[in-house]
A = this chain, B = another copy of it.
Amino acid sequence: MASAFEDTPARLRALPSRLLTQVATHAQRLVTQGLAGADARRYHYALLATLEEFGPASQAVLGRRCGMDRSDVVATVNELAQREMVRRTPDPEDRRRNVVTITEAGIQALHQLDELLESLQDELLAPLSTEERDQLVLLLARLLEHHSRAP
Contacts and interface: CB of A to CB of B under 8 A. Distances in A.
Contacts of A14: 137, 141
What number of copies of this chain does the assembly contain? Answer: 2
26 contacts: A1-B67, A2-B67, A2-B68, A3-B150, A4-B65, A4-B148, A6-B61, A9-B49, A9-B50, A9-B54, A10-B53, A12-B46, A16-B133, A16-B136, A16-B137, A16-B140, A17-B124, A19-B144, A20-B24, A20-B27, A21-B28, A125-B143, A127-B145, A128-B142, A132-B139, A139-B139
Interface of A: 1-28, 30-31, 42, 46, 49-50, 53-54, 61, 63-69, 114, 117, 120-121, 124-128, 132-133, 135-137, 139-150
Given A4-B67, A12-B49, A17-B120, 9 more contacts: A1-B148, A9-B66, A11-B114, A12-B66, A13-B141, A15-B117, A21-B27, A128-B143, A135-B135
